[in-house]
Chain A
Amino acid sequence: MAVDTDLEDVNQTTVYIPFNDSGSTNILSVRKNVAEIDGSDDVDSDAAPPSLFPERDLPQGCELRFQACRAAWGKCLKRMQELIHSLHVPVVESIVEQVKKSYTDELPGLPYPELPVVSVTSSSTSSSLFEEISFRLEENTDELFEDTNDHFVTHVFPSDCTTITGAMKTIVSGFVSRSPTGGQDIKRKPSTSLAAYDIALLEAWYRAVCDARDDRHHRSRLVVIMHDFEQLEPQVVQDMFEICSSYIPRLPLVFILALASPPSPSYIRATYPHSMLALLRVRDCPFPLAEKSLHNILLETFFDPTFEPEIMMGPTTIDFAVEFFTRHSSSLDGLLSILHLTHMKHFEEPLSVLAPAQALGRSEDAAKVLLTPDAFPFLNALFARVHKSTLIVPVEHATSWRSATVDSLLSLTETARDSFRMRAKLLRVAFRLVLRVRQFMLAHGYKAGDQTVPDLMCLALRGRLGSVYGYLCSIARELPATQLEDFVRAVHSFFEDIPEDVRAEEDEVISRVETAYKMLGRNASAQDISGPLGNWLSEYFKLRIVALEDAPLWDIWYTGSTPFPSELINPSPRASILAGLIHPQDYVSPGQRSGDDDDDDLPDISILFKGYLESAKMINVYDWFESFVVFLEARKRRVGKNCIPDGANGNSRTPSRKKGKQKQVEDEVVHEDAGEDEEGWHTEVQARFIRALQELDYLGFIKHTGRKADHVMRTVFDSPE
């Protein structure tokens, strides 16, 4: 139903046509639930998708997991958005500063005033940056500090600027539409007043603004933000800058260019001639390198002692995210999508319903949910996992299963949860200390390996950081007295900043560091301090940096080494289409497959495609048709032979297209029964051939050249076998 209305809707750019009608409600509801995770509110939680693991799932498992997933991702997303936002702050500040200082910090003695231009590369960050900039520029800060930022901002988009008239009109009317006095706008006569694209109009307006504000120093700037600067027509931009530059400094215009291309090699300098560049004073506002920001965001989200993500990312996901970021697209939005997907995949597992604390509500509610016959497979699976794990002392194994209740199971899960979280937290703290030590060693000129921070993260999560910290501790043991003091201080201050609960857990190593710190005050020899300290630290790291997979029920809170579903982020449509044409059976759900003889199930388009792959560069359509006929006739004969007279097998075959293929096969059978209608059969085969040909044509496999009669050209030549 929904599909039909979607197909009718002209505004819909993409319509998802479900695989078959009975499944469509499920798939649609999956989409709705995905939307729910995204935070949209139109929830249709009645229809849940089928579980991937029905043999050990709860009946309401899906909804519960969706809720848990939404909460977990929401927490992670909020943290990352804060981090991304904090990346913007210095850039925004520096832009605001430059706008404020433009026209005042000019070098004396220049031949003519230059038009200030700030170029910002915004490819790797989200587009909210320019909203922040314009907000900061227009806000009225405290008058007392002479820090008023009441500039005027207007936005220019490439679609407005196909001609110079349009561009000037956008700029002028962007400012002029605001009344300078705040009162009623003065009506301009269209014929005898200045044209709307005349910059003189802007000048008159600006004079009125300055009078109205009693702004004798002309502090307000006219800021033009040009979005997608590369898309603008260079000729138009040149004219526009020339016109604007002839009006400065009467009109204090400042341009902010939003570039997608990197600052080097510079797009502006490569595209525009010297005559235009000479009019401008271009300043670049660089972002920190995208890769560094990525490392930082990952570190601050998953390895911050004060922040606990609900779901810990495993090394494979971190690896994939970094790899994808450096290889394909350096965008932080892409990183968010990857982590979002990982969360969604993680919550496919039925057990993950227990991820949040008190996942099923208080114990009575939980019992109500779990003590139903439908929930038994889930309970059973949970029980098996708990008993396999180290949560129960082996001695009690023999007896405890008798007394196992839902309550006891849940409380054991809670215990596992707490112990996992503490373990992860201690790992984070220890990892941060490794980084701190490593940073110290690098700063003092020691070699400390060339792994990047994400590399180290992955090693730490796998519990294989031994060689790194072993090496660092061995350097620490040999530290000379001068550096040792700084080192001990650094380690000591590190432990002062950690949260209270971790401090209680780590009192042993803390007291040892304290000892070293005190010895430092007592002028003990360097060797006496550094030797034991190195050993202590090494012991500490060995104890804490262990694989998280060793914890009981770890897979509820940790994605571990689950491979990332990269096909979802970076699919290969061409390969999928070819595979679909060659092996259509693989795309049918296993329950619906029938028969061993593949050829019997092939849809027409696949039959045609087989011929396509075997042919030369040009295909004779008639020959193709003939082979199609031969194939169908053979199949018809086979079906006829196997056919049980009551036609019962008709329902079991070719489910790939209920209405299309299956009916065809049935029809074949029917025709067999009917017997002699040779002509009808021929017409049908022809129609089916044309239809399949059309489908191939639509997919782009055929090119009609017209060079040779009755021939079409192949467009795909790789053999996908």
Chain B
Amino acid sequence: MTLDEINTPSWISEQFAGYENVTSSLPFLYITDRHNPRITASVLDKIYRNNGDCSPTRVAHISAAACFTARLLYDTVLNALAGWEVAWENGCQNWPGEDGKRYNDSIDSFLHGLRNLRNKSREKAKRNGRAVDEEPTMVLLIERAERLKDNLPDLIVPLTRLAELSQVRITTILLSSVRWEDIKPPLGASPDPYFIDIDPPSKPDTIDSLVFAFRSTSTTQARAGTQDRTYHPSLLPLYEQYVEHVYNVCSLYTTDIHELQYIAAARWPGFVKPVLQEQCEANEDGDPDLDGTCHELTLPASDGRMRLLKFFTPSLTVALDTLYPRLTNATDWAAANDPDMQVSDEAQSQTNTEGSIIVDHLPRMSKFILLAAFLASTNPAKSDVRMFGRGADKQKRRRRKSASPKKAGVQTTVAKVSQRLLGPTVFPLDRLLAILGALLEENDVENRPHDPCFELPGEHTDMELGRVHIYAAITELTYMRALHRTTAVEKLEGPPMYKCGISFWVAGALAKDLQVPLNDLMWDPV
């Protein structure tokens, strides 16, 4: 089996070399792939679909996440195994079988459907003059098998014993990123599977598959007949070097093939642009042959390549920073970081990395509420009086537990983890309003219009706190999920409880915007 035939990178098919025959005779396989289950699934799919010549294998490749009900699973599997194409014209009928019964109401009818399918293909084989006893092999490949446990827990056992129950030659393959032990039904109800563990790809493997992806992209591009020469086949050696460089830069943070390919694809058009431009100019000087697709492109010499790589290294880390958390998408990033545009500086400032959180969009009161919610969720309730109380002694008020650990090594007690790292705690509405009042009194008095009817200090703030729009803003923030309401809306007993939904960084940005000294107000400062 050559590489082109199965259309997959070699390293992964090597892992399956020789398995094809084994797998078809095994009733139940469990493949664990913690790294790239998606790639493994597509490889397996292709393996089974491509060896159709030697033995009639029928494959159903489904995802356990997509088949969220039993009926959906039965329908999808049977239609796929039968090769039945659902058509709108006949009312989207499922594979009818021979008796026209429904096969999707229970596992029994599903098994019945499988047997029916076997008989049908046997008849077909007989008509074609093949041996009668040659049973068609069926394969049921279930991707994301861990989802079976949530969606269809009752079906795990029957699916793993499918061959035994249906008396059909069928192999069930569960492909998952978690171990079998984690989804195994209790009491040994399922037979032990034949395990295959997929190793993480090594560096050459990764580069191989990326280069392979380049080749398939260039064939599809050539087939589509585009004038774009970004993926011209003769650029392959340059791409190899480029990909290796990308791997070296990014492998510290991610070795996921898809992620690397994503970043490589985003940067490649910009990277190769100078090379192509040079070619264009050379072409214009020489013969004006516009149909450059069949032309061989001359690649830059090694020092030119080194210069290119060096020039683009900083933008690769930028790409990793923004693309890996998907702060923007590859298409837009590639457009924004085009080397010709000379806008790389602006583009960098535009992309909202973690460092620059913009909080312009909220009304001022909502910002204060969010800040108060953050403080209520991170500070312990007992500390409120000390943190927000207006005592006579300002120094004392700010006294808080020092963040520095006591003498190292002396105490063996477990160091207390900061609440900021443990996640937000729940607080009642009253506490939120009280903290909000303290914040407003300290930081907002100058900003609000003066009202002569309030003379006592704090009276105006008190009045403002009771206003309808404060409650409306809290509800709206809950609606935006910037606050989480933990008690049911119908419950009238007791105050409603909330939890803060913003991160420390957002709170920091809000505090900066409102000029509130956030660190002074936190019990456990950073």
Interface residues of A (CB under 8 A from B): 105-112, 114, 121, 123, 164-165, 168, 180, 186-189, 191-195, 197-201, 203-205, 207-208, 228, 230-231, 239, 242-243, 246, 260-267, 269-271, 274, 277-278, 280-283, 289-290, 319, 323, 325-330, 570-575, 718
Contacts and interface: CB of A to CB of B under 8 A. Distances in A.
Given A195-B71, A290-B361, A188 B91 contact: yes
A301 to B, nearest CB: 21
B219 to A, nearest CB: 11
B481 interface: yes
Contacts of A329: 363, 469, 472-473, 476
24 contacts: A108-B265, A110-B265, A121-B361, A186-B90, A188-B91, A191-B102, A194-B86, A195-B69, A200-B75, A200-B76, A204-B86, A208-B88, A260-B480, A271-B481, A274-B324, A278-B258, A282-B329, A290-B361, A327-B448, A328-B473, A329-B476, A570-B469, A571-B467, A575-B463
B429 interface: no
Contact of A112 (B69, B221, B258): B258
A201 B86 contact: yes
Given A105-B331, A263-B361, A204 B92 contact: yes
A204 B257 CA distance: 33
Interface string B38-74: 1000000000000000000000000101101101100
B469 A243 contact: no
Nearest to A291: B360
A112 B330 CA distance: 12
B257 A108 contact: no
A281 B329 CA distance: 6
B225 interface: no
B506 interface: yes
Contacts of B479: 228, 230-231, 260
Nearest to B259: A278
Contacts of A164: 68
B385 to A, nearest CB: 15
Nearest to A566: B467
B264 interface: yes
Given A204-B88, A572-B463, 4 more contacts: A186-B91, A205-B92, A281-B329, A329-B363
A109 B89 CA distance: 37
A228 B363 CA distance: 20
A264 B357 contact: yes
B467 A323 contact: no
A571 B72 CA distance: 54
Contact of A165 (B69, B258, B509): B69
A95 B352 CA distance: 21
A212 to B, nearest CB: 9
Given A269-B327, A271-B481, A575-B463, A328 B363 contact: yes
A180 B88 CA distance: 9
A152 to B, nearest CB: 14
A572 B466 contact: yes
Closest 9 CB pairs between A and B? Answer: A262-B361, A208-B88, A261-B480, A109-B265, A574-B466, A277-B326, A572-B466, A328-B469, A111-B258
B213 A111 contact: yes
A261 B326 contact: no
Nearest to B323: A278
Nearest to A324: B469
Interface string B322-340: 0011110111101000000
B257 A718 contact: no
B192 interface: no
Interface stretch (B1-9, B93-101, B160-168, B403-411): B93-101
A38 B364 CA distance: 30
B330 A110 contact: yes
Contact of A330 (B220, B257, B363, B509): B363
Interface in B465-493: 466-469, 472-473, 476, 479-482
Given A114-B329, A572-B468, A718-B462, A109 B482 contact: no
Contacts of B468: 570-573
A274 B325 contact: yes
B239 to A, nearest CB: 10
A176 to B, nearest CB: 9
Contacts of A246: 63, 66
Contacts of B261: 109-111
A265 B503 contact: yes
Contacts of A187: 91
Contacts of B248: none
A282 B506 CA distance: 21
Interface in B76-90: 76, 79, 86-90
B176 to A, nearest CB: 14
Nearest to A116: B329
Nearest to A230: B481
Interface string B506-523: 100100000000000000
A85 B262 CA distance: 39
